A = this chain, B = another copy of it.
Amino acid sequence: MPITIIKGTIVSAPALGELEITENGYLVSEDGIITGVFPALPERYAGAEVEDCGDALILQSFADLHLHAPQYPMLGMGMDLPLLDWLNAYTFPTEARFADPDYAREVYRRLARELIEGGTTRVCMFSSLHREATLILMEELERAGVTGYVGKVNMDRNGLPPVLQEETEESKRETLLWLDQCRDFRHIKPILTPRFTPSCTDGLLDFLGKLAAERGLPVQSHLSENTGEIAWVKELHPDCGQYWETYAKYGLWNGRTLMAHCVWSDGRERAAMREAGVTVVHCPDSNQNICSGVAPVRAMLKEGLKVALGSDIAGGDHLNMFDVTAAAIRASKARRILDDWGTDFLTVAEGWYLGTSAGAAFFGERPGFAPGNPLHALVLEDRDLPRPHPMTPQERLERCVYRRQKNALRAVWSAGRKVYSAEL
């Protein structure tokens, strides 16, 4: 893949709330790495093949930084149940089925395809505790063209033995074996994944923290999702003043850490995130579906925290990140109402930044279609939607967050490779 040139209405998110627009522009990559967005094709590319997308929107593809792959089969189910009943009736039995590699293969192939067909090309994903199924998940993502991190889940207490709990030594051993076995993936890498503090003994957290440091591995987990969970963590770790300290104590709290939810993180916990460079993964659908609360995203952004978006299937009911972006905007409006109109809501451009550039930052990318970034892009058609007046590219993008024509997605590139084309 030497040179890729995509021509169309290019819209990217170079900063929170900003959209950079190049109409009839050229998005160019060489060997999968973006060299620039150009209003006219530079001389040096003369003669190279141009993929002309006409008037279609050329956008950054999405980064979904928190989702549970084995919950994919139960997407949209059990949404009336309280968290614990939901876990017992749906989540744990569903996750337990991933002991079966054939089942894992079938489900994960489908999930990987649906991600790409929704324009999500970067993920940070929870698998289950099953090593083999985790490797299958990584294979299927790699095959479909999804990039990012996948974690074999660690949980050696408070699970549902025997189906969803490991012995501590088994958990360590399986983790090391998994890390050995997933070395050859090119686009999918391992991330250490203690399910959350109540699921892991101190010994296991300690092991994972040391492993992260030794091997330079990133970490993902859950933080302050609901008030009952916070009280439980307090009981389990009376030495820790706040939930986040249970991760920090074991070396699981740094610039390569993702923490999902953070609905109830107060000023002190948020300051600890900012200082360590931890990324908050906001999961608006999930927080509302299971009545966790409404995360103070606006406050976090104002304080300079890193915030990205997660679909959090299957607490969330939308895998499609256009929908998750709209949900984040809507949640910020609920937050505004909760705050008695004292806080702003997220604009569409801000929501768009969170779903694209902010998530991509966890993978070391610069915001927008910056030169040096791997090419992650999608082509979106909206010509079948009515235009009540001559619409700007910004208006077209804004509308596509809420409303898309059938078969809107025309093509997707992931790490330089074209991984989806509607013509195929």
Interface residues of A (CB under 8 A from B): 72-80, 90, 93-94, 97, 107, 110, 288-289, 291, 293-294, 317, 326, 329-330, 333-334, 336-338, 341, 345, 347-348, 386-389, 395, 398-403
CA distance A75 to B333 in the complex (A): 18
CA distance A361 to B38 in the complex (A): 58
Residues of B within 8 A of A110 (CB): 386
Residues of B within 8 A of A388 (CB): 73-74, 77, 90, 93-94, 97
Q: Among B78, B90, B294, B398, which residue has its beta carbon within 8 angstroms of that of A334?
A: B294
CA distance A213 to B334 in the complex (A): 40
The residue of chain B having its C-beta at the shortest distance from the C-beta of A292 within the complex is B337
Assess the B77–A398 pair: CB atoms within 8 A.
yes
Assess the B74–A333 pair: CB atoms within 8 A.
no
Residues of B within 8 A of A386 (CB): 72-73, 107, 110
Assess the A76–B401 pair: CB atoms within 8 A.
yes
Residues of B within 8 A of A334 (CB): 288, 294, 334, 337-338
CA distance A403 to B114 in the complex (A): 13
Shortest Cβ distance from residue A118 to the other chain B in the assembled complex, whole angstroms: 12
Assess the A75–B402 pair: CB atoms within 8 A.
yes
Check A291/B337 contact, CB under 8 A, given A73-B388, A94-B388, A97-B388: yes
CA distance A394 to B103 in the complex (A): 25
Check A80/B347 contact, CB under 8 A, given A388-B74, A403-B75: yes
The residue of chain B having its C-beta at the shortest distance from the C-beta of A400 within the complex is B76
Assess the A336–B77 pair: CB atoms within 8 A.
no
Shortest Cβ distance from residue A137 to the other chain B in the assembled complex, whole angstroms: 15
Residues of B within 8 A of A74 (CB): 388
Residues of B within 8 A of A337 (CB): 288, 291, 293-294, 334, 338
Assess the B77–A395 pair: CB atoms within 8 A.
yes
The residue of chain B having its C-beta at the shortest distance from the C-beta of A330 within the complex is B288
The residue of chain B having its C-beta at the shortest distance from the C-beta of A93 within the complex is B389
Most central of A78, A347, A348, A386 by chain B CB within 10 Å: A386
CA distance A173 to B350 in the complex (A): 48
The residue of chain B having its C-beta at the shortest distance from the C-beta of A336 within the complex is B291
Shortest Cβ distance from residue A67 to the other chain B in the assembled complex, whole angstroms: 14
Residues of B within 8 A of A90 (CB): 388
Assess the A79–B338 pair: CB atoms within 8 A.
no
Assess the B399–A77 pair: CB atoms within 8 A.
yes
The residue of chain B having its C-beta at the shortest distance from the C-beta of A77 within the complex is B399
Q: Among B341, B348, B395, B400, which residue has its beta carbon within 8 angstroms of that of A291?
A: B341
Shortest Cβ distance from residue A161 to the other chain B in the assembled complex, whole angstroms: 20
Shortest Cβ distance from residue A348 to the other chain B in the assembled complex, whole angstroms: 6
CA distance A94 to B97 in the complex (A): 52
Shortest Cβ distance from residue A379 to the other chain B in the assembled complex, whole angstroms: 19
13 A-B pairs within 8 Å (CB atoms) are namely: A73-B387, A75-B403, A76-B400, A77-B388, A77-B395, A77-B402, A79-B398, A80-B398, A93-B388, A94-B388, A107-B386, A289-B333, A291-B341
Q: Among B80, B387, B389, B402, which residue has its beta carbon within 8 angstroms of that of A76?
A: B402
Shortest Cβ distance from residue A80 to the other chain B in the assembled complex, whole angstroms: 5
CA distance A317 to B97 in the complex (A): 37
Shortest Cβ distance from residue A403 to the other chain B in the assembled complex, whole angstroms: 4
CA distance A97 to B262 in the complex (A): 46
Residues of B within 8 A of A387 (CB): 73
Shortest Cβ distance from residue A124 to the other chain B in the assembled complex, whole angstroms: 22
Residues of B within 8 A of A291 (CB): 333, 336-337, 341, 345
Residues of B within 8 A of A289 (CB): 330, 333
Residues of B within 8 A of A402 (CB): 75-77, 79, 317
CA distance A41 to B160 in the complex (A): 46
The residue of chain B having its C-beta at the shortest distance from the C-beta of A284 within the complex is B330
Residues of B within 8 A of A333 (CB): 288-289, 291
CA distance A330 to B333 in the complex (A): 13
CA distance A317 to B385 in the complex (A): 14
Assess the B107–A76 pair: CB atoms within 8 A.
no
